[in-house]
Structures are given as structure tokens and as C-alpha cells.
């Protein structure tokens, strides 16, 4: 098991290095010199040269990459080309907001998807199972931002139950934080829970036809007890794969949801930086999003090793 975890960690490191090269190269392919953009249309060549030296864009690409990459390893993302402020504290502050939003949304999606998906599989020949499957299909068809707008219109504007937008840190006032986080978390979790529900249903249906469950039922366990005791662990393995993919999708989806609910997370920071053509900030935020996605994949690979004895036996 330790050997496999070490291999997964090595794969994570290599992938992270390749990702930094890809993100850095992509930002350099985009048109426009940051020094020219920051200096303005009427700037003299001297001012542009001075800004290029200040930003470090007058140096060779390998030197620029190494300075940026080594800075990332130290937690230093550099200075914004537009605001001339340190990017690092802003990124660290925004990533906390986005992670709170995404983690809560994924937990809510799993809380909804696992029991309903299991119930849909157990009762797949009955009306209730078909109804759950139909609801999940409808949920997949509704985009997260549209669900967010609908929730704001109904719950906030018409009923006045919850705030329509804004953000309060849970450390400042937890009650207000809960009131403001319910709608964006629900909007994010809506589509994801529908997708996960379909995969949970499919995984449980596959497990229900396995020989070991028939044996468990033959020994006197009820179908539900046999499933809970022997089946769900095996059903969790494919669901875990989909969950990791959907977690990454949630991070990307949070970009739009943060804009809808005026939440100061990484998504809002990224869109603002793109609008201002602040390439270093865009580069840093994209790299943080990539790193989070890679960490999620690493965690899932480790969980595979723990959950599936066949993987450990193959070592």
C-alpha cells in the first residue's frame, strides 16, 4: 500500500510540474505585453522599459518561469501588474472563501445523492424509483447559474427569507455566514447531486447482482441489510471516481456562482483579473485551481488504495 501511495505522490509531483509549464506557456502565448498595457497608450518607450524591468518581463523566459515557480513553492505569487500589490495574501484569502463554498456544496450533494441514488436502485422497478430517476434527469438539465438566479428570485426577492448576495466570514458572525451561504451552496450542489445520484444508482444496481450479495441474502439477511453491510463499500469505488471529477467541476462552476451571488472568491478574482488583463494574477489563480484539482485526484487515489483490497493485493 505504501508503495502505491508513493507512486501516486510521484505522479502528483510530475503532473504539477507539467501543469506549471503549461500554464506559464499559455500566458506567454496570449497577445499583449504587460508593461505596455500597464503603461497605457501614450507611454514613452522609457516608461515601458522601466515597467518591463520592474515586472521582470524583460528577462528570458526560463528565468521568468523559475522565478515564478520558485515563488509558488514559497507561497509568493508575485506582484500584480495592475494594482502593484502583493498577490499572495489576496489569493490565500480568496481560496479560503472558494474552498468553503465548494466543500459545503459537495457535502450537500453527497448527502442528497447517496441515499436517494441508493433508494432509486433498490426500488428501480417501482414508481418511487422512477420518480427519483426523473428528478435527477431534470436536475442535470438545469445549469447551476440558472438555479442560482431562480433561488434569488424566489427565496430572496419574493419571500425575503435569505440575503440575495454578499459574504460573511464564518469567523466573524457564524449566523450571518449561514444565511448567506445557503443559496450559493444549494445552487452549486443542485446539478452535482443530480449527476452523482445517477452514478450512485448505477453503481448500486451493479452491486445488487453480484454473487456475494445473493449469498448474504441466502444466509438470512434482508436485501437492504445485505446491501448496507456488503455492497455499499464496493459501490463506493466508482462513485468516488465520479465524485473527484465533479469536485473539479464544482471548482470551475464556483466561478460563475460567485459572480451571481457577489462572493469574493477565486472565481471573482479570476474574472476581474481577466477583465483588467492582469496576466500574472490570472496565471497564479489558474495555477491554484489546477493545484487543488491535482490534490483532489491524489486524495482519491489514496482512498482507492484504502477502500479496494484488490489494489493492495496487486502490490
* Least-confidence region, from 78-92, 236-250, 254-268, 296-310: 296-310
Assign residue 173 a region (left: φ > 0; alpha: ψ between -120 and 50; beta: otherwise): beta
Q: Which of 182, 197, 154 is nearest to 263 (CA)?
A: 182
**Residue 69 belongs to some domain of the structure:** no
**Residue 109 belongs to some domain of the structure:** yes
Taking only the tens place, the pLDDT of each residue in 119-170 is 887 777 788 778 888 888 878 877 777 888 888 888 888 888 888 887 888 8
**Residue 94 belongs to some domain of the structure:** yes
**Residue 63 belongs to some domain of the structure:** no
- Total domains in the chain come to 1
State yes or no: pLDDT of 116 exceeds 80. Answer: yes
**Residue 208 belongs to some domain of the structure:** yes
**Residue 254 belongs to some domain of the structure:** yes
**Residue 272 belongs to some domain of the structure:** yes
What's the confidence (pLDDT) of residue 226?
67
Question: Which domain CATH number covers 289?
Answer: 1.10.3720.10
Assign residue 40 a region (left: φ > 0; alpha: ψ between -120 and 50; beta: otherwise): left
What's the confidence (pLDDT) of residue 39?
64
Q: Which domain holds residue 173?
A: 87-313
CB of 129 within 8 A of CB of 123? yes
Dihedral angle over CA of 88, 91, 97, 99, nearest 10: -110
**Residue 20 belongs to some domain of the structure:** no
What's the confidence (pLDDT) of residue 131?
86
Percent of the chain at pLDDT above 90? 1
Amino acid at each position: 500500500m505504501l508503495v502505491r501511495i508513493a507512486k501516486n505522490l510521484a505522479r502528483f509531483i510530475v503532473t504539477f510540474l507539467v501543469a506549471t509549464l503549461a500554464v506559464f506557456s499559455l500566458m506567454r502565448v496570449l497577445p499583449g505585453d504587460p508593461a505596455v498595457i500597464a503603461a497605457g497608450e501614450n507611454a514613452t518607450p522609457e516608461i515601458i522599459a522601466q515597467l518591463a524591468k520592474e515586472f521582470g518581463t524583460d528577462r528570458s523566459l526560463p528565468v521568468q518561469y523559475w522565478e515564478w515557480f520558485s515563488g509558488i513553492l514559497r507561497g509568493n505569487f508575485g506582484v500584480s501588474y495592475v494594482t502593484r500589490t502583493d498577490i499572495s495574501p489576496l489569493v490565500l484569502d480568496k481560496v479560503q472563501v472558494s474552498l468553503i463554498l465548494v466543500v459545503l456544496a459537495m457535502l450537500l450533494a453527497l448527502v442528497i445523492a447517496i441515499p436517494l441514488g441508493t433508494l432509486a436502485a433498490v426500488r428501480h422497478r417501482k414508481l418511487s424509483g422512477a420518480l427519483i430517476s426523473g428528478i435527477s434527469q431534470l436536475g442535470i438539465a438545469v445549469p447551476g447559474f440558472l438555479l442560482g438566479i431562480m433561488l434569488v428570485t424566489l427565496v430572496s426577492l419574493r419571500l425575503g427569507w435569505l440575503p440575495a448576495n454578499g459574504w460573511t466570514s464564518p469567523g466573524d458572525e457564524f449566523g450571518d455566514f449561514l444565511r448567506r451561504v445557503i443559496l450559493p451552496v444549494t445552487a452549486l450542489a443542485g446539478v452535482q447531486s443530480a449527476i452523482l445520484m445517477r452514478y450512485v444508482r448505477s453503481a448500486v444496481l451493479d452491486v445488487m447482482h453480484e454473487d456475494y450479495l445473493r449469498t448474504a441474502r441466502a444466509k438470512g439477511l434482508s436485501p437492504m441489510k445485505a446491501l448496507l453491510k456488503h455492497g455499499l463499500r464496493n459501490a463506493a469505488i466508482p462513485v468516488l471516481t465520479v465524485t473527484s471529477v465533479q469536485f473539479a467541476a464544482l471548482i470551475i462552476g464556483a466561478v460563475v456562482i460567485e459572480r451571481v451571488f457577489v462572493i469574493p472568491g477565486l472565481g471573482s478574482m479570476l474574472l476581474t483579473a481577466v477583465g483588467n488583463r492582469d496576466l500574472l494574477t490570472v496565471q497564479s489563480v489558474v495555477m491554484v485551481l489546477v493545484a487543488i484539482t491535482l490534490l483532489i485526484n491524489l486524495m482519491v487515489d489514496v482512498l482507492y488504495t484504502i477502500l479496494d483490497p484488490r489494489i493492495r493485493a496487486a502490490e
